[in-house]
Amino acid sequence: MELYPRIGKHFDIKVFTNCRFGMMSWAVLALTYCIKQYEENGKVADSMLVNTTLMLVYVTKFFWWEAGYWNTMDIAHDRAGFYICWGCLVWVPSVYTSPGMYLVNHPVTLGTQLALFILVAGILCIYINYDCDRQRQEFRRTNGKCLVWGRAPSKIEATYTTSSGETKRSLLLTSGWWGLARHFHYVPEILSAFFWTVPALFHHFLPYFYVIFLTILLFDRAKRDDDRCRSKYGKYWKLYCDKTEMSAYENVVGGKLKLKGKALDVKAGGVKKKKKKNKRDHENQILQTTEDDISAGGSTEQSLATDDQNANDEGKLSGEGKDAHYDDHLTPAEKRYIEQREQLDVHRLAKISNKSHRDRIQDFNQYLANMSEHYDIPKVGPG
């Protein structure tokens, strides 16, 4: 089965089925359903106008961006078999336009405000979907020498080996829309489909079949693309995943209750708890050493008096600033204790400041996942 089958020299079968027939028939049928509703009812409902307008805007976006489509999975990796050809010749024209077909005999009056809200939200999602693809296309065209959201893009330089043994170089974009999550462009695409379906409201399941199908299709495509890139780039893909930790399908909740975020290391046999290091061991050791030194150098009364004086001095210094000779009266053991305590505080604050909000949430999720079943939410009801 060929990747790019042709008839003659210039007729590309995959381009014809995917772009010419599939997408153009989508636009033609959307207009046809709008005209049919006018013939049946003598007018076109605002729900049909919103549905048809959003579909036409999406198809127009596709042909405006058509050059970028050549680098997608449909063209670059999927071969021109039954899955592609039948899907674009039959499934796309019939299923993708099903919300409009439903509205022909079930017109819905939305009202001006609701219709405008759905229309604007749908156009915004289509634009975000286009801008995601435009960023990646421009990044590839300029070999990373472009601006993404007004600044130089963050990227990973990856190398891979082809089937012929040739080593090649590729750039992975990790900023802009592509820094928010892997496969982020699928999110506005699903939302676009929802917004040109929701004018039918929620009276019947049929209009939403396309949205459900598209969601399943894109989740499967995201997983296939991840598997392909993981085998292609190896360690570079792992680094890319670490920089863009969220994915289009990683937040799907299955089985027991889990918090959203990165997949947790929970195995079927239970949670393997890692031995935690006591952060205070080192501090306690310092305190014990200090107490021993103080005991060796003087009586208990002298130690207590020194501690009280030290606390008073620290209170004064916090408001007035440190004097050049503030520690002249301290013993060597007390000076060592204060220095090491300050170092611990600096290290702790630096560690906290280096963590982003996402990192803290993931650490919290991992902490919850490593807890024993004693802390699980109890079941309610039988079973």
Q: What is the 3-state secondary structure (H, E, C) of 261-293?
A: CCCCCCECCECCCCCCCCCCHHHHHHHHHHHHH
Residue 218 lies in a domain: yes
Residues 368 and 221 in one domain: no
Residue 254 lies in a domain: no
Residue 365 lies in a domain: yes
Listed in sequence order, the DSSP H helices in 147-249 are 177-180, 186-195, 209-233, 235-243
Average pLDDT, whole number, for the chain? Answer: 76
Residues 291 and 349 in one domain: yes
Residues 37 and 77 in one domain: yes
Q: pLDDT over 90 for what percent of the chain?
A: 22
Task: Write the DSSP string, 318-353.
Answer: HHH---TTTTTTS-HHHHHHHHHHHHHHHHHHHHHH
Distance CA(15)–CA(19), nearest Å, equals: 5
For residue 383, pLDDT beyond 80: no
Q: Are 182 and 247 in contact (CB under 8 A)?
A: yes
Pair type for strands 155-161 and 167-173 = antiparallel
**Spatial CB neighbours of 81, under 8 Å, sequence gap ≥ 6:** 1
Between 4 and 42, the higher pLDDT residue: 42
Lowest mean pLDDT among 125-134, 274-283, 328-337, 349-358: 274-283
In DSSP terms, 157 is beta-bridged to: 171
Residue 190: pLDDT band with limits 50, 70, 90: very high
pTM beyond 0.85, yes or no:
no
Residues 112 and 63 in one domain: yes
> Residues 121-148: what's their mean pLDDT?
89
Residues 174 and 210 in one domain: yes
Measured CA to CA in angstroms, residue 368 lies from 119, 273, 372 at distances of: 42, 11, 9
Residues 26 and 84 in one domain: yes
Residue 167: pLDDT band with limits 50, 70, 90: confident
Distance CA(199)–CA(76), nearest Å, equals: 35
Residues 225 and 118 in one domain: yes
Task: Write the DSSP string, 74-92.
Answer: HHHTS-SSHHHHHIIIIIH
Structural tokens at position 329: 């009266």
**Spatial CB neighbours of 161, under 8 Å, sequence gap ≥ 6:** 167, 168
Question: For position 343, what pLDDT does the model report?
Answer: 87
Residue 250 lies in a domain: no
Question: For position 299, what pLDDT does the model report?
Answer: 43
Residue 148 lies in a domain: yes
Residues 231 and 283 in one domain: no
Parent domain of 211: 6-243
Residues 281 and 206 in one domain: no
Residue 277: pLDDT band with limits 50, 70, 90: low
Q: How many structural domains are present in the chain? A: 2
Residue 383 lies in a domain: no
Residues 281 and 234 in one domain: no
Residue 253 lies in a domain: no
Residues 230 and 273 in one domain: no
Q: Which of 194, 178, 100, 118 is nearest to 144 (CA)?
A: 178
For residue 148, pLDDT beyond 60: yes
Lowest mean pLDDT among 2-16, 191-205, 311-325, 351-365: 311-325
Residues 75 and 34 in one domain: yes
Residue 193 lies in a domain: yes
